[in-house]
């Protein structure tokens, strides 16, 4: 039996924890932008001098930076790149030749001065490129546009008649469900600095999280948005309006990386709530992150230590930094085809061909949004428990707790004796521990949807039928080998679902409410939603009632969302049973 439809609950309204804009930490940053950027430049240069303390090492670093930037300009230019990009680096090359000539003539003092000037010029360029352009008036306007526009689209798709565009019958909270530790997040946002770390699947993630932040009554966060998003007109406007600082993943040189890290660290020292995607980029495979980029997490660690040092000098309480993992849950990801092909190309090298991202234009993004609201597919945002920077959970007062819920002192972890000291190796280990804690929380708060269930089960059944094939040959199976009887599929879906329920009881995963319905309704719901926007659907039911796989590659992408729970053992073992198999 299916669960009866009940009256839709009234969406909860969250009052702003800082109703006056002038009290928002990010407003302080915008008003003192030049001072902040200058500090970023100074701190970056100081760090780079530590890394390259001699003239020879500094020149080597500058030459490496030049080489990598020339390669970027030639091999991977973007429309968003500054018009003077080529001219700037040509000028740097000319100046480095002058430095080289001075070195050969034993004019090291002059060479050192010119090298320092080149370093300052590059760092200044990077810092000003990275820096956000948050403006409170733009933020308020962008927030209203997103909320109003999305709400109108939602009601137009669900309410019949001309008046649908002006209807308020449905709210975004009907469509985008926010679950988890909401009050914990709101409370700690008033006691310290928040670092929100979501999973990352789509270019829409930044806009989604931006809406969630304002919906929960939190002041604006700054966040690192991939510079590639500024290639897309609709994203460029909202990213600039919402105060995103720019992260260019193409720039792999040390000078850029240290400038970016300094920006992130100083923002947290200023008490500005931050958001970044520790996976580094969108998940190409479709699975929840199993490895994190620890660089920006390390900047939080450094900021916390500096806060303790400042507290030690002034006697004032140290501002504490809290980390909140967030899991974004979609039935489908609009970029899935290009993402999974890129993943397979990386994994298979010459055995797979990469295609361009098919959703790189504003018109296609708007088209996707229209489809999303018309189809009735949901999104959920699951907020995990707050942590300190060692991965310990914290209570409502922000106090760190060990595994036995005993209070521990975070400050002592940065001490040598009684003094706060800098120990990069120690902090690197703490950052690794934090990364592992975030990953565990991702898997715990991940919310299983019907689409995840049907995609996972179908792919594993096809795999079970062809045990001798590797992944790439499995993806090339002909259509006649990609058919499953409904009875077999239904039975396996129920077995996997029961295992998921078992894991849920152990608090190892979360589940969507619709997963509790009658299994046939769950399957119907999953088939209707999985890959719903793609030109070629990954999973369908034919006229005979069988389950067919029109696109095995896209199915593989959606199957991967449930990796990490050892659910495949349930399908591949001879005797089906609910067992303790979770990692």
| Half-sphere exposure for 101 (CA within 13 Å, toward CB) | 6
Which residue bears the tokens 């796989």? 549
Determine the Cα–Cα distance for residues 286 and 343; give it in Å rounded to an integer: 9
Lowest mean pLDDT among 129-133, 241-245, 401-405: 241-245
**What pLDDT, on a 0 to 100 scale, did the predictor assign at position 211?**
83
Write down the pLDDT at residue 30.
87
**Cβ–Cβ under 8 Å, residues 196 and 209:** yes
Nearest-CA neighbor of 256 among 88, 96, 124? 124
Neighbours of 104 (CB within 10 A): 9
Determine the pLDDT at residue 157.
Answer: 41
Highest mean pLDDT among 295-299, 346-350, 437-441: 437-441
Q: How big is the CA angle at 345 (ends 340 and 349), to the nearest 5 degrees?
A: 160
Percentage, residues of the chain above pLDDT 70: 83
Instruction: Tell me: pLDDT of 36 over 80.
Output: yes
Q: Where are the domains of the chain?
A: 447-572
Let me know if 139 is exposed, middle or buried by CB neighbors in 10 A (0-12, 13-18, 19+): buried
Q: pTM score, two decimals?
A: 0.88
Among the listed residues 141, 211, 222, the one whose alpha carbon sits nearest the alpha carbon of residue 177: 211
- 160 vs 463: which has the higher pLDDT: 463
Place of tokens 């995840």: 452
Q: Tokens for 391? A: 């991965």
Counting Cβ atoms within 10 Å, is residue 509 exposed (0-12), middle (13-18) or buried (19+)?
A: buried
- Least confident segment among 445-449, 459-463, 579-583: 579-583
Pure H helices in 176-294 = 182-188, 205-215, 233-241, 254-269
Among 222, 198, 220, which Cα is nearest to 280's? 198
Contact yes or no for 69/251 (Cβ under 8 A): yes
Q: Express each pLDDT in 360-385 by its tens digit.
A: 555 566 665 665 555 555 789 999 99
Q: Please give the Cα distance from 551 to 555 (Å, whole number).
A: 6
**pLDDT class of 146 with cuts at 50, 70, 90:** low
Q: What is the pLDDT of residues 117-133, one digit of tens each?
A: 999 999 999 999 999 88
User: Helices in 320-361 by DSSP H: which ranges?
Assistant: 336-348
Sole residue written with tokens 């001219």: 87
- Phi/psi for 394 (5° steps) reads -120, 155
Determine contact, residues 380/452, Cβ cutoff 8 Å. no
Read off the pLDDT band of 158 (50, 70, 90). Answer: very low
């Amino acid at each position: 039996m299916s669960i009866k439809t009940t009256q839709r609950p009234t969406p909860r309204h969250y009052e702003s924890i800082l109703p006056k804009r002038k009290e928002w930490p990010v407003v302080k940053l915008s008003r003192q932008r030049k001072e902040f950027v200058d500090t970023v430049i100074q701190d970056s240069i100081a760090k780079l001098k530590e890394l390259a303390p001699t003239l020879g090492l500094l020149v080597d670093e500058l030459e490496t930076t030049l080489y990598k930037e020339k390669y970027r300009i030639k091999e991977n230019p973007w429309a968003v790149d500054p018009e003077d990009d080529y001219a700037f680096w040509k000028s740097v090359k000319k100046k480095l030749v002058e430095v080289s000539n001075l070195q050969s003539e034993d004019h090291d003092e002059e060479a050192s001065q010119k090298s320092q000037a080149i370093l300052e010029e590059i760092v200044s360029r990077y810092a000003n490129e990275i820096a956000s352009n948050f403006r409170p008036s733009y933020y308020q306007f962008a927030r209203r546009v997103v909320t109003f526009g999305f709400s109108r689209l939602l009601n137009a798709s669900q309410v019949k008649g001309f008046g649908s565009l002006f209807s308020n019958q449905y709210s975004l909270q009907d469509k985008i469900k926010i679950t988890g530790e909401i009050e914990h997040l709101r409370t700690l946002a008033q006691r310290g600095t928040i670092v929100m770390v979501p999973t990352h699947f789509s270019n829409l993630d930044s806009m989604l999280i931006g809406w969630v932040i304002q919906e929960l009554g939190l002041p604006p966060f700054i966040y690192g948005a991939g510079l590639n998003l500024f290639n897309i007109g609709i994203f460029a406007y909202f990213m600039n309006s919402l105060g995103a600082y720019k992260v260019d993943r193409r720039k792999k040189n040390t000078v850029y990386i240290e400038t970016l890290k300094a920006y992130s660290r100083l923002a947290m020292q200023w008490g500005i709530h931050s958001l970044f995607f520790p996976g580094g980029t969108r998940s190409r495979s479709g699975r929840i992150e199993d490895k994190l980029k620890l660089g920006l997490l390390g900047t939080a660690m450094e900021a916390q230590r500096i806060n303790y040092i400042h507290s030690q000098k002034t006697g004032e309480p140290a501002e504490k930094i809290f980390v909140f993992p967030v899991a974004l849950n979609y039935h489908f990801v609009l970029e899935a085809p290009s993402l999974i092909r890129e993943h397979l190309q990386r994994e298979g090298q010459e055995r797979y061909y990469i295609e361009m991202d098919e959703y790189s234009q504003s018109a296609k993004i708007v088209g996707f949004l229209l489809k999303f609201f018309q189809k009735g597919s949901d999104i959920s945002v699951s907020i995990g428990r707050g942590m300190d920077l060692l991965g310990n959970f914290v209570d409502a007062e922000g106090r760190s707790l060990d595994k036995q819920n005993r209070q521990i002192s975070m400050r002592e972890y940065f001490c040598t004796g009684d003094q706060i000291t800098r120990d990069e190796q120690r902090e690197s280990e703490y950052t690794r521990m934090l990364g592992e804690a975030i990953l565990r929380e991702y898997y715990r708060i991940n919310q299983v949807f019907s689409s995840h269930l049907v995609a996972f089960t179908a792919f594993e059944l096809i795999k079970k039928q062809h045990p001798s094939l590797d992944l790439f040959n499995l993806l090339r199976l002909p259509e006649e080998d990609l058919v499953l009887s409904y009875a077999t599929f239904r039975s396996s879906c129920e077995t996997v679902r029961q295992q998921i329920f078992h894991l849920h009881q152990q608090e190892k995963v979360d589940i969507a409410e619709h997963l509790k319905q009658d299994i046939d309704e769950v399957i119907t719901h999953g088939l209707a939603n999985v890959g719903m926007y793609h030109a070629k659907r990954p999973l369908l039911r034919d006229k005979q009632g069988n389950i067919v796989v029109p696109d095995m590659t896209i199915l593989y992408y959606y199957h991967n969302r449930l990796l990490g729970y050892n659910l495949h053992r349930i399908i591949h073992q001879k005797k089906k049973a609910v067992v303790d198999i979770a990692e």
